[in-house]
Amino acid sequence: MAEQTLPATGREWHLVKRPAGWPVPEDFALVEAPVAEPGEGQIVVRNTFLSVDPYMRGRMNDVKSYAPPFALGAVMDGGAVGRVVASRAEGFAVGDAVLHAAGWREYATLDAARTVKVDDSLPLQSYLGVLGMTGLTAYAGLLDVGGFKEGDAVFVSGAAGAVGSMVGQIAKLRGASLVVGSAGSAEKVRKLTEEYGFDAAFNYKEGPVAEQLAKVAPDGVDVYFDNVGGDHLEAAIGALKLHGRAVLCGAIAQYNDTTPPVGPRNLALAIGKRLRLQGMLVSDHYGMQPQFVAEVGGWLREGKLVHEETVVDGFEHSVDAFLGMLKGANTGKMLVALGS
């Protein structure tokens, strides 16, 4: 592929205001910015897909958290994939597919060392989802943090989401005795059992979580994978068996709360049942990456994994995609396609 002429400018999404509660479109601005020529060791990438993720909501607040806050007036960074359109870096040629963290922009000029070349015999967007941080979060959370072992019963909240749907499938492929999940619509619940292979699922909007969980898992569960917090976590603490484990991965139910949420009132049950509740961030588990890519990449090639994507077309709709994801408009991984 021949060297392409770089455009003078490309579009970027900037954060311009910090939201109180739910973010709104006015918190963001679409900005035309220069595309820098690559320096020595650098490449220019034209993005084809970018990722919108729940954790980004936390980064919009100006508080110290696990990821640094987004700067005001700067690009919303985050995972993206694209193709090299200019290179002054050894081993990176025009046309190569790369994964990087430079986020919501059409073009990115980057140190090649801060990007990862990926095998493009699998769809590029896989590296933002099933083979990316999403998949590794599910894999490391279930196996490493959750100590899942063959025969365990597993409950996943936010189960139709990108991480949740992977957790359930990995548990089944690894020999779970029971996999149950919760989601927020009848259609998602249907997908969980009919497409993702969950043994049972329920719509948490249709009744108390604890009651619905008791129906689908009357003997309790060994592992709870928490994407939600709130009522779900309390119900799971009640349902966990002796030596059960809760993987605290997300609390999407609370991200936009402006008042403190109610904590699980039954946490003292953790003493007698010797429960382990453990928070996780995928960044602690990069060491599992080779094992993860080998096992999950294998399942993917064999067609054993269903991994749905909700793709929003057009860079100009990135904010809509993000806000929609926060409200549950997606099934599976939410992506923005920039066109190729």
Rounded Cα gap, residues 122 and 332, in angstroms: 18
Shortest distance, position 175 Cβ to a copy of itself, whole Å: 25
Interface with a copy of itself includes 62 (CB under 8 A)?
Answer: no
Shortest distance, position 68 Cβ to a copy of itself, whole Å: 11
Interface with a copy of itself includes 288 (CB under 8 A)?
Answer: no
Shortest distance, position 295 Cβ to a copy of itself, whole Å: 23
Interface with a copy of itself includes 61 (CB under 8 A)?
Answer: no
Closest C-alpha to 51, from 129, 112, 106: 129
Residue 68 or residue 290: which is nearer to a copy of itself going by CB? Answer: 68
Interface with a copy of itself (CB under 8 A), residue from 43, 124, 180, 275:
275
Interface with a copy of itself (CB under 8 A), residue from 218, 272, 290, 303:
272
Q: How far apart are the first and last CA of the chain?
A: 14
Rounded Cα gap, residues 275 and 291, in angstroms: 27
Residue 93 or residue 262: which is nearer to a copy of itself going by CB? Answer: 262
Question: x/- string (CB under 8 A) for a copy of itself, residues 124-163?
Answer: ----------------------------------------
Interface with a copy of itself includes 263 (CB under 8 A)?
Answer: yes
Rounded Cα gap, residues 35 and 43, in angstroms: 11
Rounded Cα gap, residues 52 and 37, in angstroms: 27
Residue 248 or residue 311: which is nearer to a copy of itself going by CB? Answer: 248
Interface with a copy of itself includes 21 (CB under 8 A)?
Answer: no
Interface with a copy of itself (CB under 8 A), residue from 266, 299, 311, 324:
266
Shortest distance, position 290 Cβ to a copy of itself, whole Å: 22
For residue 296, how many other CB atoms are within 10 A of its CB?
24
For residue 271, how many other CB atoms are within 10 A of its CB?
8
Shortest distance, position 137 Cβ to a copy of itself, whole Å: 11
Q: In the 3-class helix/strand/coil scheme, how is 230-260 assigned residue by residue?
A: HHHHHHHHHHEEEEEEEEECCCHHHCCCCCC
Interface size with a copy of itself, residues (CB under 8 A): 34
Residue 142 is classified by DSSP as I
Long-range Cβ contacts of 287-290 (<8 Å, 24+ apart) = 288/136, 288/139, 288/140, 288/143, 288/144, 289/136
Residues that bind a copy of itself (CB under 8 A): 58, 65-66, 229, 233-234, 248-251, 254, 260-281, 284
